[in-house]
Structure formats: structure tokens, C-alpha cells
Structure 1
Amino acid sequence: MGLTALIVGGVGVANAVRAFLDAKRTTIATFKCLGAPAATVTAIYLIQILLLAAVGILFGLAIGAVAPFIAIRFLEGVLPVPKEVVFYPGALGLAALFGLLITFAFSVIPLGHAREVPATALFREQSFEEGRLPSWPYLLAAAAALALLAALAIWTAEERFVATVFLAAVAGAFVLLRLVALLIAALARRSPRVHSPALRLAIGNIHRPGALTPSVVLSLGLGLALLVTLALIDGNLRRQLTGRMTEQAPNFFFVDIQSTEREGFLDILRRHSPDGTVDQVPMLRGRIIAFNDQDVTRMEVPPGGRWVLRGDRGITYEEAMPANSTLTEGSWWPVDYDGEPLVSFSAEEAGELGLKLGDTVTVNVLGRNITARIANFRQVEWESLSINFVMVFSPNTFRGAPHAWLATLTDGDATAKQEAAILREVTNAYPTITSVRVRDAIDIVDRLVGQLATAIRAAAAVALVASVLVLSGALAAGNRARTHDAVILKTLGGTRGLLIRAFSYEYMILGAATAVFALVAGGGAAWYVVSRIMNLPSSFLPDVALATLLGALVLTVGIGLIGTWRVLGQKAAPVLREL
């Protein structure tokens, strides 16, 4: 989200620099006519831009340094934030470097356009012509700055793979947004002639030279796509927690059932839930200490697999493959197997840890180191919330070892009163058995997901605010051309109402097109995260689509009309004298 806001801000820098240089058009022409080298003119304005950026960065650093001390007062009851905030000068320095790089990268191209235009054309034209790229040194400088920015973002990220994928996605989004803008302009150019003068004028504004189409689509596209992605991920997670997962999950988990307590414990469950299903497996606790005789503390483990090595793991042994698992590689050991210790490993976690069939795993159980060879990998359905283990050993591995039992009770017809009775009697009869009501745990997780989603959306709002500011800047940058258009149209008989309708239609078309892109891009990104990374069912949520469409229309039309209201009131005579 921070990188999205930063890159959207870069688009704003490009718009602002272009508008700034357009306002300095006659000054640049005068410099060139007086013999100033183009490189000198470019250096003058680059220094100005970087000085202004430095002032903005200092303000941003001051706000960023103070914000946590203020925010902590409001977040204590919402998120488990630390009560003491620490000042990190290194983070502020990194933020300043990001700001300078993004400013330089996005201001070089407009400066290159200004450098290439001869003085005579500057005196004749209304603005800089961007139909062709600037010379290669400017392109090279922009590419070098962007490459350094990407390298810095990846190097400082904890999840470097995620950062790399994100930056690649942003680069793809820039290309897509540019293509979307070109497609909108092409469709507008080839649209059939309409009878409404206001709509005809709006369609012409979309594809004419110097149109706002690329700026509006790029300004809002990234921010809206990010919000759509987050909203769809959050919605699918909440639906999974409150819907499918709740229906599939067992009612209770019972942990640390001693062998001497099993029969009495099962009698309680049969009495209170005669139609319920009880699953039980032996369980021990063990810590993974080595793979292939290599100490795991000396291994470079990817983030996705670190949780397997963190602390003790629950482990079990089975003669037959668990019912909720599917073999992906290898074969299960035969009944009454009595060879070397074997282990079945979860396929996803094994992939994260770089394990393959035939590798050995050493676990410390009850103070003894036991080494087993990986016989197979299996796909585990963690989202079912049934009994699952990363490692399932062959029974001969722990023959004679003392262990407890783990059990679940699943009864879809059980009422809250029945569950309370089960919980009360098991606790009274066997205080050492830990009883976990799954619905309570899901409610806690649902609440935590809701709190995190609120925090994430609040942070994502920064990217959207940046998009709105960039959109405002883009519209303000186009006000010069809009003023000329409005004055000429009013001189030819156009009314204020006609112009307001034309501008409204134009902004509505651009906002709707941007919303469609955000829905497609955000929907695709959310589907990939939910279905491919989280391995959960993914669905498109109509309420998110409607909110995105309405939000885009309100922003584009509202900000557009606010920005052009002053243009509509412009007196014709002063503008006509300058043409």
C-alpha cells in the first residue's frame, strides 16, 4: 500500500511538472532565444523541482514521525499495538530516499519533452507536445531511477518475493492503464455521431489532443484497483469464516486426553451427542531439529515454512492414511509395517522447506532424537479445521512411547445448550482435558480479521487519497486548455448549462471506464491471492463492484466539476486577447 501510494504520487509529480513547465513556456522559450543551452535550462528546472520535493519530503517526514504517537491513543482498543512508540530514524531516511527517487524518476520525462521543443514552437503552441519520446539520456535516467527504486523496495522488504511480484504487477498495471486510456480514446473517436451536443462535445474531449483521459485513468486506476483487491480478499475471508468453514468445522476439539480417561470421556460425548461423530488420534509433541542431519537453526528457511520449525509441533502416527488427506507423491506404508521409521509430510510445507522424497527428518520427542525417512507427501485441507498434522509417522516409530489423545466432536444438529452441557461435564469430570469450542475460536478469528481489515483499509485510503490529489492536479493542469475551449464555445453561443453537461458526461465516461478496469484488475488479483495463495474458494462480490463504480463516478464528476467551475466563469475578453 505504501508503494502504491508512492507510485501514484509519482504520477502526480509527472502531472505537476508538466503543468509547471507549461506555465513556464514563454520563460523557457526566452532562455533558448537568448542562447542558453538546453542542458542549462533543464538543470535550472530540475533543481527547482528537487528543492520543492525536498520541502514536501520534510513535511511528510515530520507528519510520519508524529503520527504514530497520536494514532496509538486511538488504536489501543482496536489493535494489539505496543504502548510505547519507538522513533526509527532509519525508516525516515529510507522514506526520504524513496521520495527523492520517485520525484526524479517521474520528472525527467516531462523535462526531456521541454528540452526537445524549439523556441519558435514554444511561442506558437499552447503546450508541450508529447507525441514522441524524449532523447535517450532522459529515458535512461528515468529507467535507472526506477530500477534503483525497485531494487531498494525489494531489498528492504521482509517478503522479497511478494515485493518483486508487486512491482511487476505495478509495471503491468501501468502498461494496462495506458492501453485502457488509448482504447477509450479510440472508441470515442470511432463512436457514432450522437444528437446531443453536450454528449458529442464530451466524446470529442475524450480523444482530442491534450485530453485528460490518460491522466484520469492512471490517477484513479491504481488506487481503486488496490481497494477492490483488499475489499474482495477481506469479503472472501469473512465469508469463509462465517459460512463454509463454520459449517464444515467440528463443534469441539479436546486436547491432552490420557489413555486412562478415554472410555469415560467417550461415554460423556455419546450421552450428550448420540448422533455426533467423534474422531480421535494419538498425539505427541516434538520439535524438528534437523533435515538430512543438518541443524535447522543453521538453514536459510523461506518465510512460508518457518512456522513449522517454530517451537514444538503436534505429531501423530497412523497405520492408514488420514481420511481428509490426499497423496501427492510417494506411497503409504503397509499395515503392520516394521522397518525403518517413516514419515508422511504435508506437501505444501515440504515445498516451502525444500524437502523431497527420501530426505530424513529428525525430531526431538520426550527428550529423544528420532530420525525418520520421508515416504510420501500429502495434500492437507487445513481449512476444514478437522484433525490435521504436518507430520504423520509410521506406528513403529513410537511403539511403547507414552502419549495423550486428541479428539474432535462433530454434530451439526447440536444446540448451544447441548454444547454448554458437554463442555461443563467434560471440564468437571476431567479438569486436565483442554476443551476448545471451535465456534468461539472462529468468532475470535473473525473479529481479528475485521480489525485487521479496518486497519488495512485505513492504510489503503492513503493510496486513494493520493489518487484523488493526483486527479485534482491532473484536472488543474488541464484548466488552461479548458479555459480556451470554454471561452470559444461561449463566444459561439454555448451556454453554461451545455458546458456543465458536457464536462459531466466526459468525467462520467472516464470514471466508469476506470472503475471497470479496477474491477477487472482488482478482481483478478484478489482471485489469485485467495485461491492460489490462501487455497480458499474465491467469488466476486457484487456490493464491492457497485461501491467501486459509484465511488469512481462521484470522485471524477465531483472533482472535475469543482475544478472546472472557475473555468466556466472566466471572462471571454482577456482570454481572447491572448489567443
Structure 2
Amino acid sequence: MKDFSTRLGIAFRIALRELRGGLKGFYIFLACIALGTGAIAAVNSVSTAITDSISSEGRTLLAGDIRFELNNREATSEEMRFLEGLGTVSVSTVLRSMARLPDGSDQSLVEVKAVDDAYPLYGKLVSEPDLPKADLLALSDGVYGAVAAPLLLERLGVSVGQEILLGKARLKITGAIINEPDAISDGFGFAPRLLTSRDALKATGLIETGSLVEHAYKVRYNDPAPGPTEIRDRAQKELPNAGWSIRTSDRAAPSLTENIERFSQFLTLVGLTALVVGGVGVANAVRAFLDSKRTVIATLKCLGAPASVVVMVYLFQIIIVASIGIGIGLLLGAIAPIIAASYLAGVLPISPEPRLYPAALLLAAVFGMLVTLAFAILPLGHARKVPATALFREQGFETRGLPAWPYVAATTLALAGLAALAIFSSEDRRIATIFLVAMAAGFLLLRLVAMLIAFLARRSPHMPSPALRLAIGNIHRPGALTPAVTLSLGLGLSLLVALALIDGNLRKELTGNLPERAPNFFFVDIQKADLDGFRTILQQKAPKGDIVEVPMLRGRILAFNGTDVTKMQVPPEGRWVLRGDRGITYSTDLPENASVTEGSWWPADYTGEPLVSFSAQEAGELGLKLGDTVTVNVLGRNITARIANFRKVEWESLSINFVMVFSPNTFAGAPHAWLATLSDPAATPEDEAAILKAVTQAYPTITSVRVKDALDVVDRLVGQLATAIRAAAAIALIASVLVLSGALAAGNRARTHDAVVLKTLGATRAMLIRAFTYEYLLLGAATAIFALVAGGGVAWYVLSRIMKLPSNFLPDVALMTLVIALVTTIGIGLAGTWRILGQKAAPVLREL
């Protein structure tokens, strides 16, 4: 043990003395580690900053300590007594409707929020002008006040002080909303906010039987505050049929939190790709550095240093340099939340105060060190074989084959640790596992592609051009750059292609194919008494249009087979079905846009136990089977139905679809409204405006949703997400470029010898430039083809199998990939070899 510690100390001192000369040879190493570590640290730090802000500011974001939500009905007197027993109660009501100009010249979909005098229990409503809420929403001269989102004022062309119509009431805009404390907890809306009083909402006449309305009861606890679990248990025990959704301040915005966590997981995996691609650069940099230290290694051996000491010397250096790179990356990750706060402050809750997130930084640091060790140990094992004779003759050492088994075992252990960390730190371990398997398969395929390129080059016919013959020979000769180029650029380009194709297809679907297949309008909250008149207006305004009408209710899934869904482990992809209430319907016949995949549809005159048809895809995600029971709460009643069949639903058509369709006898006599769509491919924007105006003026309580407007909102969201994804993909591509630069640097000594020998034999600099250009051109083209195939395959799987959308090959993406590959390989290749071409022959020939 003493002898080992002595060797360790000697190795450490030698390592530090060598590093006094600077980090020459390690700059690409540093850049690769700093880039990948920084990406992971930044993504996780920003994600943690947002989720921590949601948790710490939960009371303000929820505008209460706890929130009870009911759909389509108000709380009963018994339920209100229960709520008032917990503390101060504030009631708000949210629904969608149409706001109109008094002269009827324009209208806009709005999300109406009606609040009481107690609102908000926490936080503050901020408007421009900044007046007390009571003054903003007061009744004056028979007109109620309202504050509106700036977007609504812009759409209707109105300003503060002017009036609008909502339902049957006239409202005066008294201010523009600057900050609504609980907007995030209310969830994402496709329409701008209009906030008014509950008295004003009653005057509008919008709430009728079956209207789609959310009533939120927010409570500020009396002291002492009970625990959230205690409240849930009491509510379930005392009011088992309430069917309300309960949310506590520590989970103020669960959907937002979950989406941020999943998106950050995706970006973390992309950052890990950049880090692993950078790991190849680490291996190249270590190999090049050790190759430049051949004489030092040989000298140490001649002076009696054991091979283990030599290995420890350079392992210490690698760990020290990696620590510097990780430190740079952690610094980037530490300042990322501060930078993000300046951009996201108005959109997401993120604290502007500088804070460190140790868990996120530690995770990135461990990833960085594991990647360093995983890719540096094998080159160290090869360096151990440097013979002492290398001191007397400038010769390389053989790097073919594997080093001794301890080095292979250590590398395997580091890779296993890297994979385990990636999987167990992920929210969705299945996706992380698939991602890692795909990455490993990518490495293997790229190695096979490099072998195939070399094989084809070896079997290529004789070329008349000497430069082209030399280029082809360089591709398959021993020590060729072929494996390094394909591996370094292959993963980065494949990721870029996959993300570009996914983004391009989504945008094409949103702006092209989807609007053509989707209906022009959705009409919500149609009362049965208005149905005939409403249908007549559509037939007059769109005589060639297709009108579809279905009964519409809202229900919340409470249990499967009697088991409370809140106590079930549900896969992430199926959680949306259980989150909040779902639109449900009943039907005698199978819907036209669906087909039964298992089971059978009920007869038209069915009168037995309640039955339900469940969407096949969602049922599979939830683990349901035929004969299982589903308990839903509708209008305060718990209804249990048995699954009679599964059906395939075409969600991408945007036509009327439901997760659950019940047998008609299930809701016999239940009050409800109707949902309708209008599809008219020939309708112009002017025709749609006329339809919207006619329906809104005749039936102001019917909510009209123009599908194109909703798609425009989604398109903007996709664009914002795509920006973040492209930035992450760009990091991976930058890492690839760094790796390529490192690979060229690692092969510079061999290239120098080749260039000197060829020039001695009569080759001109111009001929060598042409040869290198042809070589890099062929390698870049081959890598681009692989990236198109691999990235296209990944994009097809994500679009077709996960998103259930059509996948199309986009020529502009192919051209972009080819250009990037060729410019990168030729540009970096020639930049790296230009200095070699001017090398003097005599010094090199003396060393041969």
C-alpha cells in the first residue's frame, strides 16, 4: 500500500509539472467537455428554477392554499359548508365565449373569468391603469367593468374606456391586464382573457343548462393549516360524490410542471448526445496528446518508471483538464437561469434572483466526468504499450486491438454508470432507455458505415486522375480518417436531420394538410332549443357545408375497476386522459370517423347496464381491457360503465372525437348542450367571417371556434419549442465539428509524413489540395447520406408511431444536410491540412 501511495504521489507531481507548459493539445478536449456539461447543467438548472418557483410561489400562482374545481355545476350548500369550514373561500368561474363590438362589426373568442370580491386570496391583480379591483369591475350606469388582455384589445381594435358586448350584457373595458396571479394555474388557453365580476357573468346569460363551465373554489386556510393529504381524505370521506378536482399550492400548475420536466428531459438527452459525441473528441484528443508525448513516455520508462506510473501521470492530467472543462460548463449552467429569467419572466414563473441549483450542477458534473473516463481510458491503455525504443526513433505505437483487460473493464464500468445515470435521472425511463439504445446502435452503425466506405473505396475502379486515386487510397489505407469523420459528424447530423424533419412535418401538417382535413368551425354550448335555428343559419351561409352535431357532456374519470385513479401508477403518455375533465358523449351508432378494433357496438335499442366505448390507443396506455369498468363523475353523479369495445380514433383529423362514447341509456334525462362542426373546404376567409358574424349575432351564448385561429396559436407554440430544440441540436453539431477538428489534429503527424514523401516524389501542392478536397468531399457526402437515412428513420418513428401523423421526406432538409456535411468536412479538413502542405521536408525525412 505504501509503495502504491508513493507511486501515486510521484505520478501526481510529474503530471502537475508537465501541465506547467500549458494546455496545448487539450483545447478541443476542454471545448467538448465544457459544451456538453454546460448544455446539461443549463437545461436542468433552468428547469429546476421554474419548477422551484412554481412550488415556492404556489399560493400566489394558485391564488389560494388549496383549490377545488367543479365542472358544469356549482357547489351545493353542503359542499360550500365543507369549504367554508376550511377557511376563507374565493369563487371564480371560467368559460369560453364570444366578445363583440356594439355595432356587430367584429367579434373574437375570449376566455372569460368571473371573480368574486375575495379574489385573489394571495397575490395581486395588476392592470393598466393600476386601480383597485373593486373599481375596475364595478357596476356604473348599468354597465359592468372588465379588464382585458392586451391581445383582445388589439384583435377588436378597442381601447380602455370603450364598451364591448358579452352574451346579453354590455361591459366597459376599464383596464388592460398586466399580471393575473393565478393565470398559470388556470392552464393554457387558446383565447385572450377577459376578467369581470360574477355579477356581470350572471347578467350575460352565458351559463345555461349543459354549458361548459369551470367553477374554482380557492381556500385560504384558517390557522393551523391542515396537511393536503388530510384535506383530500376528508373530502373523499364526507363528500364522495362531489367529483371535484383538488389541487394544493405545492402543485399549483401540475400540467405545466410535468411538461417542463418532460421537455427538460428531452433537452437533457440531446445535451447528453452532444456530450457523448464530444466523448469521441475526448478520445481523439487524448490519443493525439499521448502520441505527442511518445518520447516523454519512453524516457520515463528508460528511467525505470513502471507502466502503471506512466498511465497515472496522464490519467491525472486528463482528470485535471476535464475538471477545468466541467467547471466552465458548470459556470455556464449556473448563469443560465439568470439569462433565462430575463426572457421568460413574462411567460413562466422564474425567479430573477441569482441562485445555484446544486443537484442540477452535480448531475452535469457527474455526466462530464463519466464521459471523460469512458472515452479516455482505452487510449491510456494503448499508451501503456509505448516501447522504450520510441525514444531513439520517432515512431508511433500500435493502437490496433484492445488494451489489457483492466482498461476494457474500467471503460465498460464507466459506460454502464453513464447509462444508469441517464436512465435513473429521467422522468420517463423507458424513453431514456430507448434513447441510449438508439445512440449505441448509432455508434455501431457508424462504425459499419465507415467499414463499408473503406471497402467500397478499396474495390473502386482505377481512376485516371492521380489526385482522385490518392483521395480514394486515403479513404481505405491504415490510419485513414474515415472512421473519425463518419463517427464525429454522423451522430450530430443525424440528430439535426431528425429534428428538422419532425419540425418541418409538424409545420406542414399545421399549415397545409391539417387545415384541409379539419372542419372550419367548432360550435360549443348549443342549447337544444337553439339547435334548429342554429342549423338553419349554417345551411343559409354555407349551403355546401357538412354539419355534424353530437350531444356533449363533461365528466371526470374517478376510478378503473373500483380503484381510485389518483392511487394508480399511470404511464406518462396516458396521464392526460385522467387530468381534469373530459368531453364525453353518447351515441346509438358507431361514429363515422371511427372503427371498432375489439369487442362489439351495442344495439340501437339497448337498455341494459351502462356501456362505454373507449379509444383503443388510450386504453392500451392505461392498461384497460374489455369488461373493465370506468367510473366517471358527471354533474355531481358517479356513473360506472363497463367497457364494451375499443375503437380506433383519428385524432389528427380534428373532427369530433371522444375518448369515451357511452350507450344512450347511460345519460337518460341528463341535461346537456350540443357540440357541432362545420366543414366547407370551399369557404373563403370572407365566407368564414360572415358565418362567424351571423351565428354570434343570432346566438351570443354559442361559442364559435375558428379552427384556423387555434392552429395559428399551436403553430406559434411549435415554433417556440422548435427554437429551443434547434439550439440543442446546434450544440450537438458544434460538438461534432470540434470532434472532427480533433480527429484531424490526431492524424496530422501521419498526414505530414505523407505530404512530405509525396512532395519529395514530385507531387505539387495543388495536386495534394485536390486530393484532400476529393477525400473530404467523398467522406462528407457519405456521412450526409447516412445522416439522411438514420435521421429520416428516427423522424418517421416519432411522427408515425408516437405522434400518429403522416411523415414526408423534405428535400430542403436533405439539401441543407448535404451542404452542412460538405462545407464542414471540406472546410475543416483543408484548414487542418493547409499548414501540413507547407512543412519542410528535411526535418520530417530525418525522423523516418
TM-score band by shorter chain is over 0.9
Which residue is 1:142 aligned to? 411
Query: Residue 159 of structure 1: CA displacement?
Result: 2.0
Distance 1:193 1:123, change over 3 A: farther
Unaligned segments of structure 2, at least 5 residues: 1-269
CA offsets per residue over residues 240-294 of structure 1, 9 Å max, x none? Answer: 1122211111110011111122122112111211221111111111100100000
Describe the SS at the equivalent of 1:371: strand
Corresponding residue for 2:693?
424
2:577 match? 308
Identity rate of aligned residues, in percent?
Answer: 74
Q: CA-to-partner distance for each residue in 1:180-239, whole Å, 9 max, x for gaps?
A: 111111222222221211111111111122111111111000000000001111111111
Alignment partner, residue 768 of structure 2: 499
Tell me which residue corresponds to 2:351.
84
Conservation of the 8 A alpha-carbon contact between 1:253 and 1:437: yes
Which of 347, 357, 366 is matched with 1:97 structurally?
Answer: 366
Aligned to 1:404: 673
In structure 2, what is the Cα distance between the partners aligned to 1:169 and 1:148?
A: 17
Which structure has the bigger radius of gyration?
Answer: 2
Q: CA deviation at 1:83?
A: 5.1
Q: CA deviation at 1:121?
A: 6.0
Q: Deviations over 1:510-556 (max 9, x none)?
A: 11111111011111111111111111111111111111111100000
Aligned to 1:547: 816
Match of 1:286 in 2: 555
Alignment partner for residue 293 of structure 2, among 24, 31, 43? 24
Distance 2:457 2:391 in 1: 29
Is 1:465 aligned with 2:745?
Answer: no
| Corresponding residue for residue 109 of structure 1 | 378
Q: Give the match for residue 449 of structure 2.
A: 180
Q: Larger deviation: 191-200 or 100-109?
A: 191-200
Residue 446 of structure 2 aligns with an amino acid whose one-letter code is L
Q: Which has the higher strand share?
A: 2
Matching residue's letter, 1:103: T
- 8 Å CA contact 1:483–1:570 kept in 2: the answer is yes
Matched, 1:328 2:578: no
**Equivalent position of 1:258 in the other structure:** 527
Kept after mapping to 2: 8 A contact 1:330/1:377:
yes
- Corresponding residue for residue 830 of structure 2: 561
> How far, CA to CA, are the matches of 2:698 and 2:351 in structure 1?
44
Q: CA RMSD in A?
A: 1.5
- State which drifts further: 283-292 or 491-500: 491-500
Instruction: Within 5 Å, give how 1:115-126 maps onto structure 2.
Output: 115-120=384-389, 124=393, 126=395
Residues 267 and 193 (structure 1 numbering): CA distance in 2 closer, same or farther, change over 3 Å? same
Within a 5 Å distance, the mapping from 1:439-450 to structure 2 comes to 439-450=708-719
The answer to whether the 8 Å contact 1:122/1:128 transfers is no
Task: Report what 1:525 is aligned to.
Answer: 794
Distance in 1 (alpha carbons) for counterparts of 2:278 and 2:397: 22
Q: Quick one: which amino acid aligns to residue 351 of structure 2?
A: E
Partner residue in 1 for 2:483: 214
State how far apart, in whole Å, the 1-side matches of 2:733 and 2:349 are: 27
Instruction: Tell which has more relative contact order, 1 or 2 (C-alpha 8 A, sep 6+).
Output: 1
Aligned to 1:154: 423
Go from structure 1 to structure 2 and tell me whether the alpha carbon gap of 1:404 and 1:537 turns closer, same or farther (over 3 Å shift): same
Is the CA contact (8 Å cut-off) linking 1:251 and 1:437 kept in structure 2? yes
Point out the more displaced range, 273-282 or 356-365: 273-282
- Once the two structures are superposed, residues 315-369 of structure 1 have per-residue CA deviations (whole angstroms, 9 ceiling, x without a partner) of 0000111000011100001111000000000000001100000000000111111
What letter corresponds to residue 752 of structure 2 in structure 1? Answer: T
Say which SS state the counterpart of residue 540 (structure 2) adopts.
helix
Mapped pair 1:241 → 2:510: yes
CA contact 2:294–2:386 (8 Å) conserved in 1: no
Q: Report the equivalent of 1:227.
A: 496
Is the 8 Å Cα contact of residues 252 and 435 (structure 1) preserved in structure 2? Answer: yes
- What is the alpha-carbon distance in structure 2 between the residues aligned to residue 138 and residue 104 of structure 1? 10
Partner of 1:48: 317
Secondary structure in structure 2 of the residue aligned to 1:46: helix
Q: How does 1:289-438 map to 2 (within 5 A)?
A: 289-438=558-707
Equivalent-residue separation in structure 1 for 2:687 and 2:392 (angstroms) = 86
Structure 1: runs of 5+ lacking an equivalent: none
One-letter amino acid matched to 2:653: S
What SS class does the counterpart of residue 472 from structure 1 fall into?
A: helix
TM-score (norm 1): 0.97
Shift of 1:76: 7.0
2:797 paired with 1:538: no
Cα deviation per residue 1:347-406 (whole Å; 9 max; x = unaligned)? 000011000000000001111110000000000000010000000000111101111110
- Distance verdict in 2 for CA 1:238–1:94, change over 3 Å: same
Q: Return the offset for 1:122.
A: 7.2
Instruction: Pick closer, same or farther for the CA change 1:422–1:122 going to 2, 3 Å.
Output: farther
The TM-score with structure 2 as length reference comes to 0.67
Query: Does the 8 A contact of 2:298 with 2:386 survive in 1?
Result: no
What is the CA–CA distance in structure 2 between the aligned matches of 1:123 and 1:369, rounded to whole Å?
A: 89
Checking the alignment, whether the CA contact within 8 Å between 2:294 and 2:390 is kept in structure 1 is no
For residue 721 of structure 2, the aligned residue among 434, 448, 452 is: 452
Say if 1:202 and 1:506, in contact at 8 Å, map to a contact too.
yes
Per-residue CA shift, 1:78-123, capped at 9, x if unaligned? xx45453564221111000000000000001111112234333675
Of 261-270 and 402-411, the range deviating more from structure 2: 261-270
SS of the equivalent of 1:499 reads helix
**Cα distance change of structure 1 residues 361 and 84 upon mapping to structure 2, 3 Å threshold:** same
Question: Match of 1:280, SS?
Answer: strand
Alignment pair present for 1:36 and 2:305: yes
Q: Distance in 2 between matches of 1:297 and 1:386?
A: 30
The 1:57/1:206 distance shift into structure 2, 3 A limit, reads same
Determine helix, strand or coil for the equivalent of 1:116: coil
Cα distance in 1 for partners of 2:562, 2:717 equals 39
DSSP 3-state at the match of 2:339: helix
Structure 1: distance between partners of 2:286 and 2:492: 21
How far the C-alpha of 1:30 sits from its partner, in A, is 2.0
> What is the CA–CA distance in structure 1 between the aligned matches of 2:738 and 2:418, rounded to whole Å?
22
Q: Is the deviation greater in 190-199 or in 525-534?
A: 190-199
Distance 1:70 1:360 in 2: 50
C-alpha separation in 2, matches of 1:89 and 1:238: 38
Give the aligned residue type for 2:568: M
Closer/same/farther in 2, CA of residues 344 and 122 from structure 1, 3 Å limit? farther
What is aligned with 1:15?
A: 284
1:438 & 1:116 partners in 2: Cα distance? 69
1:480 and 1:74 mapped to 2: Cα distance?
Answer: 47
Report the secondary structure of 2:384's partner residue.
Answer: helix
Q: Which amino acid aligns with 2:548?
A: D
- The answer to which of 114-123 and 366-375 deviates more is 114-123
Q: What amino acid sits opposite 1:89 in the alignment? A: P
